[in-house]
Amino acid sequence: MSRRSLRSWLPVLTAALVAAPIATAHAQVWRTVTASRQRASADSLRLRVYFGAGTFNLEAAAEPLLYDVDMRYDAGRVRPMHRYDAATGTLTIRSDSAIGHPFSLNLKRGGLNFNGPGDDRNGTDLTVALARGIPLDLSLSLGACDATLDLANLSVRRLHLESGASQTTLTFGTPNPVAMSSLDLDIGAAGLTVNALGNAHASAVNVSAGVGGAELDLGGTWSGTMNLVVRAALGGVTLHIPQDVGVEARVAKTLGGLDAPDLTERDGTYYSSNWGTATRKVVIDATATLAGLEITRD
Amino acid sequence: MPTRRPVYTRAAILAAALAVAASATDLAAQAKHSPARALSLGDSIAAVVDSLRHDPNGIAIERSAVQTGAQTVAPGTTVNGSIASWHGPLDVRGTVTGNAVALGGDIVVHTGGTVRGDAVALGGHVQLDGGTVQGEMRSLSALTVGPLARTAPRTPAQATKRSLSLSVGWYLVLSVIGLFAALFARGNLETVAERIRDDFSRSFLYGVVGQIALLPALVVGIVALCITVIGILLIPFAIVGFVLGGAGALALGFLAMSYVTGEAAMRWRGAVSPYTPPPVVQFLFIGLSLYFVLWMIGGLLSWAGWFGAVLRLIAAMVTWVAVTVGFGAALVSRGGTRAPGGRVPPPQAPPPLSDASWQTPTPVSGVAAARRPTPPPRSVQH
């Protein structure tokens, strides 16, 4: 390109570079809503969350609150709602009509928006704090977001987590005071990291992992036998199991792989060397379809 | 015809200016119809009460419950029903059997104070100072106005503006990408363009087949990686790479097609000189602008019902053909790295003799020089 030609196109280039940010900008109207309720006589709480895009945090509330919800959202894009039904003790929070999909090109409002998981420039920020000391029944349905679930100091009786394309970190920071009757983790295209799963006080754990894979740390305070069912497809699941825990693993592989150097196979089942003597054990029933399962001893 | 060149330059600049103007107009309109805003003294109480009722996190109160200025529920007194303050704080020291609402102020529930319903502050906060709220304590930063823009039915003017915004957005994005392609991948761009010129119909055919085969190719690739087991870890990268590659081929193809279109337009105007290198950027922007104009016309007539729809359909079909041809050419030329036919260009044949060449000892077209045969060097014998 000659110098003259370049000079003649300079205004066009300048105009384009100036116009591009303008055209891609979106007039955001941020709004905050905080809602809390004193615990009073409530003896349990059910939480239902349907969350689309943004950042989601779950943690313990300060006394004497039953719940404390903090939402920050773009009122031009989404109208989150929350309802508490005192008769059933159910708190429902819905923010699933937010900006659609990860890495989508959103031209609907005259601008371009590339939304990744946890893109807090465009998504909703939601923090939910729940009462300590009362049994909790949690059902979380997450879309494309960054989720941090810190269940320390909470009494979780049931947890069902369903995630589409979210990057989720679930931490049982302290031992769960109540026995968890159901712990289901259903992960789609993003990732899941579970810390101190042993603190969950769950005798049965179901994990279904998709493309993004999952990493589960079975550390924490627990006793007895934990039954862990893992369904992995098109991704990888890594289990970090403490050395003193006895392991029995039955793995069904369909174009999948198992990496468990510390386990020994007997009659199609893998055992750790301390299986017969360990005071706490984990029984793994895994299915790996086009996926890999890794078991490490920490 | 170098004198005509500024006409195209000005046209492109005008197009860019239009893009800027349309975007700015759109932003201004968005600001005007802001879906949330803070309370002001000029607001109508009835309108605010109505808006609060329809807010998903709001509350329903009677207009008659709203009193202007600071409000206090004195100790030992009971308000039967709800109470609300307008642009002032609400201090609760007694009992409110309904809801306590502050529109443009804080709610403070002092020791001995009780709210049996909800305590809601719009543009303020709810504070507990030893009191009790049996319902929910809620603070809303702003008032919600109107429905969500995405769910609101579009007026013809809004539909037109939206169509124009779409066109402008794509034009700007493609312009910037095109500029980078012309500066840093000019060879690839020209090779793909050459493919298009060389065999338009075959490029179109390859483009159609390529578009149909995109998804199956991705699936086959994933399965192939899975079979190797170790390749499973590469699947996310493969997916991202495949999507980027496909998008790149589509973009490169469309830009090459725009380049060919711009070149054709310039030739039609007689503004292409055979003695100077082709102005790639100019051809590219003119081609892009032509497609952009097509969409702009369709967008400008969005209000015109089926007629506008037909125009936009035509624009979409033309663009699809351009994208398909370009995509096919990009595939065949492997992203512009392989010349037409995949062959080395044949050596130039000598030009044919002219009719008058026999009349002169030396042909008019010249005589090809031949190397004079030289004997091999003799070995020296002593």
pLDDT of B376: 60
- The alpha-carbon gap from B240 to the nearest alpha carbon of chain A, in Å, equals 11
Q: List the single residue in B with minimal CA-CA distance to A94.
A: B56
Residues in B 195-254 with any Cβ partner in A closer than 8 A: 222-223, 226-227, 229, 232-233, 235-236
The C-alpha atoms of residue A176 and residue A138 are separated, in whole angstroms, by 14
CB contact (8 A) between residue A257 and residue B135: no
Question: Half-sphere exposure (CA, 13 Å, Cβ side) for A281?
Answer: 16
The C-alpha atoms of residue A207 and residue A222 are separated, in whole angstroms, by 19
Q: Which of A27, A112, A291 sits opposite B27 (nearest CB)?
A: A27
In order along its 382 residues, chain B shows pLDDT tens digits of 444 445 455 555 555 555 555 544 444 444 444 455 566 667 788 888 888 888 888 899 998 999 999 999 999 999 999 999 999 999 999 999 999 999 989 999 999 999 999 999 998 999 999 999 999 999 998 876 554 444 445 667 777 777 788 888 888 888 888 888 888 888 888 888 888 888 888 889 999 998 898 888 888 888 888 777 777 778 888 888 888 888 888 888 899 999 999 888 888 877 766 667 778 888 888 888 888 888 888 878 777 777 778 888 898 999 999 999 999 998 888 887 877 655 444 444 444 544 554 455 555 555 555 566 566 655 544 4
pLDDT of A23: 45
- The rounded percent of chain A whose pLDDT value lies above 70 is 82
Contact in structure between A127 and A148 (CB atoms under 8 Å): no
- The alpha-carbon gap from B201 to the nearest alpha carbon of chain A, in Å, equals 30
Distances (CA, A) of A74 to A122, A124, A166: 7, 7, 20
Closest CA to A29 of A95, A124, A113: A124
* pLDDT above 90 (res A199): yes
Residue B247 neighbours by CB under 8 Å, 6+ apart: none
- The alpha-carbon gap from A184 to the nearest alpha carbon of chain B, in Å, equals 25
Confidence of residue A5 (pLDDT cuts 50, 70, 90): low
Long-range CB pairs of A164-168, under 8 A, 24+ apart, other chains included: A164/A188, A164/A189, A164/A190, A165/A101, A165/A102, A165/A117, A165/A189, A165/A190, A165/A212, A166/A56, A166/A117, A166/A142, A166/A190, A167/A117, A167/A118, A167/A191, A167/A212, A168/A142, A168/A192, A168/A193
CB contact (8 A) between residue B35 and residue A15: no
What are the structure tokens assigned to A196, written together?
A: 């101190």
Chains A and B form CB pairs within 8 A to the count of 171
Contact in structure between A175 and A147 (CB atoms under 8 Å): no
β-strands A236-241, A264-266 pairing: unpaired
Q: Which residues of B touch A92 (CB under 8 A)?
A: none
CB contact (8 A) between residue A15 and residue B31: no
pLDDT of B378: 56
Residue A8 near chain B (CB below 8 Å): yes
The C-alpha atoms of residue A84 and residue B79 are separated, in whole angstroms, by 25
Residue A32 near chain B (CB below 8 Å): yes
Collapsing DSSP states into helix, strand and coil, what is residue A214?
strand
Residue B308 near chain A (CB below 8 Å): no
ipTM of the complex: 0.78
The C-alpha atoms of residue B179 and residue B294 are separated, in whole angstroms, by 21
The number of residues in chain B equals 382
Q: List the single residue in A with minimal CA-CA distance to B12.
A: A12
- The alpha-carbon gap from A40 to the nearest alpha carbon of chain B, in Å, equals 8
pLDDT of A108: 37
Residue A236 near chain B (CB below 8 Å): yes
Q: Which residues of A touch B173 (CB under 8 A)?
A: 20, 112
Residues in B 22-61 with any Cβ partner in A closer than 8 A: 23-24, 26-27, 30-31, 34-37, 56-57
The C-alpha atoms of residue A139 and residue A174 are separated, in whole angstroms, by 20
Specify the pTM: 0.60
The letter for the amino acid at A44 is S
Question: Half-sphere exposure (CA, 13 Å, Cβ side) for A32?
Answer: 9
Residues in A 209-228 with any Cβ partner in B closer than 8 A: 211-212
pLDDT of A30: 83
Residues in A 91-110 with any Cβ partner in B closer than 8 A: 97, 107-110
Q: How many CB atoms lie within 10 A of CB A73?
A: 24
pLDDT of A211: 76
pLDDT of B37: 59
What are the structure tokens assigned to A156, written together?
A: 């979780």
Indicate the Cα dihedral angle B285, B288, B292, B295, nearest 10°. 170
pLDDT of A238: 93
* pLDDT above 90 (res A103): no
CB contact (8 A) between residue A22 and residue B23: yes
Residue B129 neighbours by CB under 8 Å, 6+ apart: B108, B109, B110, B111
Residues in A 124-183 with any Cβ partner in B closer than 8 A: none
CB contact (8 A) between residue A110 and residue B165: yes
- The alpha-carbon gap from B321 to the nearest alpha carbon of chain A, in Å, equals 22
What are the structure tokens assigned to B9, written together?
A: 């330059």
The number of residues in chain A equals 298
Q: Which of A26, A111, A257 sits opposite B229 (nearest CB)?
A: A257
The distance of Cα A294 from the centroid of its chain, to the nearest Å, equals 20
Q: List the single residue in A with minimal CA-CA distance to B180.
A: A13
Residue A64 near chain B (CB below 8 Å): no
pLDDT in tens, A241-276: 999 999 999 999 887 788 989 999 998 899 999 999
The C-alpha atoms of residue B282 and residue B292 are separated, in whole angstroms, by 15
* pLDDT above 70 (res A133): yes
- The alpha-carbon gap from B206 to the nearest alpha carbon of chain A, in Å, equals 27
CB contact (8 A) between residue A236 and residue B233: yes
Q: Which residues of B touch A11 (CB under 8 A)?
A: 13, 16
Q: Which residues of A41-63 are buried (b: 16+ CB within 10 A; e: fewer)?
A: eeeebbbbbbbbbbbbebbbbee
Question: Half-sphere exposure (CA, 13 Å, Cβ side) for B112?
Answer: 9
CB contact (8 A) between residue B36 and residue A75: yes
Mutate which: B9, B232, B284, vs A, most A CBs within 10 A:
B232
Residue A250 near chain B (CB below 8 Å): no
Residue B279 near chain A (CB below 8 Å): yes
Closest CA to A234 of B228, B345, B223: B223
Residue A41 near chain B (CB below 8 Å): no
Looking up tokens 């054990």 gives: A281
CB contact (8 A) between residue A257 and residue B176: no
Looking up tokens 């998008």 gives: B247
The C-alpha atoms of residue B89 and residue B94 are separated, in whole angstroms, by 15
Looking at B184-223, which runs of residues are DSSP E strands?
A: none
Residues in A 252-271 with any Cβ partner in B closer than 8 A: 255-257
The C-alpha atoms of residue B181 and residue B170 are separated, in whole angstroms, by 16
Contact in structure between B300 and B164 (CB atoms under 8 Å): yes
Q: Which of A12, A76, A84 sits opposite B149 (nearest CB)?
A: A76
Number of helices and strands in chain B (H, E): 8, 15
